[in-house]
Structure 1
């Protein structure tokens, strides 16, 4: 880091999925602005060109120093291969701190590899809890939080979860780096993306759907319920649903022999700017993604979450999101509540300066009282 960095000279960032690329982009750029040596390790958890390299290109990020190319495997095998590869990188470079983001297998592997190598771990977006241990991500979050030296929860609520669990690391409410990214790129998406004309869509006259979680798409009945509820509301309101379909979800549709209702149109996975434009232009978003719950809240688009639990309850507290579950009647009711809602809520995830706050904390040796998020 710079001369006033208290001896920190190199930061390693471990990532592996689309959301991590988006949320780590501000950290990578902040390192560059400060002259910090940033070692970028990509696990290859997302291995599709559509879900990976295009995001580096559009966000103008450097090519990772390492790509482990682990790809899709069982949780245990995937995490184990990542752990082995990351450990080799850390043994060679020995950075001062390893930053991991969120709750993926890449997050857990990066944190474990660093902790076992006696290297400080910083967890960006720490403290999120769905309180549903059937979610693999919940295990990843909890374990990562309890082995981290620096914990950067996005909100006071997530800080409270960490304090109640008596984690040993320093806790600093930093805000969420996704706010940094969306504030930087939303105008660019409006200016450059042609996705609305390409798909023949009119702003505020369509719905957007994302569904990819294993508990939703790997079970035939759950997937069918989800699609039924969304399509039923679309039919009632005479609007089309655009569904950028994850390859895994498409394979399940084919495997289960499910026919999509006519109200739902699938499209190929989208790049960052196109998806951001659709999120901002949709009149309503249906999702099972935690990241999309955050993004729609920031962009001012009402959201219906197709899950029974969420680790982003702040989005519901401010009125931007409604937890619906999968029952078609409940989905329709939730969508009826959210449609047309004015985006007059406060964004609960900070002011768009989370990355700078995180690096300030590392430079200062983690002094929480100096890094409060402005209200």
Structure 2
């Protein structure tokens, strides 16, 4: 074993060497002790001989539902490839049903660190995450810090890692959306400026970065949420669908939580007025986000939801079961827009713009506001389902392969 290791170094061979034919037992145990080892997709043992036995270490920072979903895919790939992952949960989604339940449903390992940040103003939340996350990065000394999407957690992690001279990998890079002062857009743009590795979910995202003169370290890998959709589709649950005695393709699923939609009474009331009008013609199922529930109660707007089926926040598998059986979806969720597309359903997006413009350009999804939501919902659309916009469902594999080459 030692001779093989010295030979590899002296000849300056490739970092990763593939061995066939090793059987379980003492010989394989020696290899595991000597260097990093993982099980590749073809069942071969992959040994990192040039690392001097140093294990590749990645810190993944998450804090919101879509990030939990993406983490579920990459965690499995890290395990397969013998990469040590330190999982840090900022606590940005602090409600139990909005956070812990996704760890249970998606079988994600418990976080190694939980920052318990909770809610707060943007500056307060971002600052608290930076203070606590910096301590962890200094202690753990990772090879890479991995951040996801467009939350305050994303930006905080990127800033901390960059200032500590740790490479930053951004999953879901290159998404752009108007207005530019939208919190998520600010987080996206700044994180992409900081990141060393930019993993794009679509070719449009690559083009967006090119327009900003960002070309180094940019990779089109596809959308990691499509990976999970393909993995989990057979496990989607229909318990709520059955319990409510809903009819397939006969109801609308609704979600809403954005501050610009729910934090001002006048805007929220106009939206709910449109929802009330729609509910007289179509059944609406509405799992209500804690933030939205709080505002509805505070503004005394319950009267608009009398015909709406109201639910507590629900887990991913039941949510996707409701998506699969629905007619259409009304939402302001960035992640759900794509999950709806994967399920070959159409979404009405209650936003001035969306980062997933490709689906709008193809006229599959539609943008709506508090004035035209009813009309947009009942517009006829005969557009053929546009396939393969977000890759082939192997984004996680591609991301891990790229990271292994770069470290």
Query: Which of 141, 145, 155 is 2:202 aligned to?
Result: 155
| Alpha-carbon distance, 1:241 to partner | 0.5
Alignment map for 1:330-369 (pairs within 5 Å): 330-337=372-379, 344-365=385-406
Q: What are the Cα deviations for residues 77-127 of structure 1, in whole angstroms up to 9, with x where unaligned?
A: 111110011111110111101110000011011111111111000000001
Aligned to 2:62: 15
Aligned to 2:225: 178
Query: Which of 329, 332, 355 is 1:311 aligned to?
Result: 355
- Secondary structure of residue in 2 paired with 1:260: helix
- Secondary structure of residue in 1 paired with 2:305: coil
- Is contact 2:178–2:352 with CA below 8 Å preserved after alignment? no
| Alpha-carbon distance, 1:143 to partner | 0.5
Aligned equivalents of 1:32, 1:281: Cα separation in 2? 34
| Alpha-carbon distance, 1:342 to partner | 6.9
Q: Which of structures 1 and 2 has the bigger CA Rg? A: 2
Paired residues, what number?
Answer: 359
Alignment map for 1:1-375 (pairs within 5 Å): 2=37, 3-4=47-48, 9-167=56-214, 169-189=216-236, 192-235=237-280, 238-258=281-301, 259-327=303-371, 330-337=372-379, 344-365=385-406
| Alpha-carbon distance, 1:338 to partner | 5.1
- Is contact 1:24–1:177 with CA below 8 Å preserved after alignment? no
The two structures have a TM-score, normalised by structure 1, of 0.91
Aligned equivalents of 2:390, 2:102: Cα separation in 1? 22
- Is contact 1:303–1:338 with CA below 8 Å preserved after alignment? no
Aligned equivalents of 1:21, 1:95: Cα separation in 2? 20
Aligned equivalents of 1:85, 1:312: Cα separation in 2? 32
- Secondary structure of residue in 2 paired with 1:122: strand
- Is contact 1:243–1:267 with CA below 8 Å preserved after alignment? yes
- Secondary structure of residue in 1 paired with 2:339: helix
Unaligned runs of 5+ in 1: 367-375
| Alpha-carbon distance, 1:55 to partner | 0.7
The two structures have a TM-score, normalised by structure 2, of 0.85
> Residues 64 and 325 from structure 1, CA distance in 2 versus in 1: closer, same or farther, beyond 3 angstroms?
same
Deviates more, 1:254-263 or 1:23-32: 254-263
Aligned equivalents of 1:357, 1:241: Cα separation in 2? 39
Unaligned runs of 5+ in 2: 1-35, 38-46
Aligned to 1:372: none
| Alpha-carbon distance, 1:33 to partner | 1.3
Deviates more, 1:314-323 or 1:330-339: 330-339
Aligned equivalents of 2:324, 2:156: Cα separation in 1? 33
